[in-house]
Every structure is written in structure tokens, then in C-alpha cells.
Amino acid sequence: MFVQSLCIYSILCTRDAFNREILEDSCMDEADIRILDALQNDGRLANNDLAEKVGLSPSQCSRRRAALEDNGVITGYHATLSSDALGLDVLVFVHVTLATHSPDNAQRFLDLVRSIDEVQEAYSLTGESDYLVKMSVPTLKDLSHLLADVFLPHPAVAHVRSSIVLDRLKETNRLPLKHLRGQARASI
């Protein structure tokens, strides 16, 4: 567990340094932050509408958006679907403890979660559990099947503990941007 935690810490430190380097190399300014904020509100904005909203010319806005995409700051555009409208009434978080801590076993678990459509997100953790898995399923019976017939019999898994969501207090895909404003160079 200590080695896994140390590896995760190393990855996080490397990622944070890389992200600071991207921010410094990209010379992100207030206009870029306004673009990001507007696109988080509505990723379907046409370039002319986006330019008007952020106070830039359409050509300048287009160049900046392309640069943000090229730098990996904007990673994609997609539709957000309603789980309720699609009959996915049960949201669950599953804490998973591995049977053994080895790279091969971690890879087997990664292959497992990637193969299950109901898994929306999965995270490697420090602490009591090795992984936290977020799943959406139609019914408790479907959840029971996944836990009893898919997760528990898998050779990579030793223990699972699930928590069913009773009510969503907040749900967002928006990332906070206010910390960038202090780092951004002056707007043109």
C-alpha cells in the first residue's frame, strides 16, 4: 500500500508541475480564461457567439480556442445526458480493495473497470481502499449482479464496499478557474 501511495504521490507531483508548465508556456491570459468559462457554460457556442461573449474578434477568438485545444487545456466537447431520463436510477460508489498489490493485479483491475459500461469513473486512492468506482445502474438488482457476479469473483478483487447515493447535493463538470486569474498575464 505504501509503494502504491508513493507512486500516486509522484504522479500527482509530476502532473502538477506539468500543468504549471503548460500554464506558463501557453501564456494564458484573462481572455483565455473568459473563453474557458464561456465554453464550460455552453460548449455548443458558435465561434461568433463565443467571440461576442468574451469581447474578442471572431478570428482572434478562433485562434485562441484552437491554441487551448492544441495545448490540451480543452480536451473535447460532448453532450451531458440525464441519468434519470435514461432510467439509470441508482448511483453508487464502490470502494475496492485488491487481493494483492502488484502491477499485474492493478492492470487486471484496470481491464475489469474498462470493460464495464456502468462504470463512469474510477480512481486509485490512498487510505483504506485501493480504488473508488462510480457506477450508474437501472436497479438495485443490476447493482447486486455487478457486485456479486462481476467484481467479487474477479481474481484481482479481495473486498468491495458500496455506498448508494440517496440524493445528489451538487453535480457539475465545471472546473474552478479563479486560481488562474492570479497567474494569468494581462489581457490584450
DSSP class of residue 185 equals: B
Residue type, 153: P
Q: What is the mean pLDDT of residues 30-57?
A: 96
**Which residues have CB under 8 Å from 68's CB, separation 6+?**
26, 32, 35, 36, 74
How many Å from the N-terminal Cα to the C-terminal Cα in the chain?
49
CB 124 within 8 A of CB 11: no
Q: What is the pLDDT of residues 97-122, one digit of tens each?
A: 999 999 999 999 999 999 999 999 99
Q: Report how many helices (DSSP H) and strands (DSSP E) the chain contains, helices first.
A: 7, 4
| pLDDT above 70: percentage of residues in the chain | 83
Residue 16: pLDDT above 60?
no
Residue 20 has pLDDT above 70, yes or no: no
Which pLDDT tens digit goes with each residue over 64-97? 999 999 999 999 999 989 999 999 999 999 999 9
Three-state DSSP state, 87? coil
Predicted pLDDT at 141: 98
CATH code reported for the domain at 90-164:
3.30.70.920
Give CATH 1.10.10.10 domain extents, the chain. 2-79
Residue ranges matching CATH 3.30.70.920 in the chain: 90-164
Question: What's the pLDDT at 27?
Answer: 72
CA 151 to chain centre: 22
pLDDT in tens, 133-151: 999 999 999 999 999 999 9
Can you give the pLDDT at residue 91? 98
* Four-residue CA torsion sign, 11, 102, 118, 116: positive
Identify whether the C-beta of residue 38 lies closer than 8 Å to the C-beta of residue 177: no
> Residue 49: CA atoms inside 13 Å, Cβ hemisphere, count?
8
- Give me the pLDDT at residue 32, please: 96
CATH number of 2-79: 1.10.10.10
Average pLDDT (2-23) is 42
Is the pLDDT at 159 greater than 60? The verdict is yes
This prediction has a pTM of: 0.77
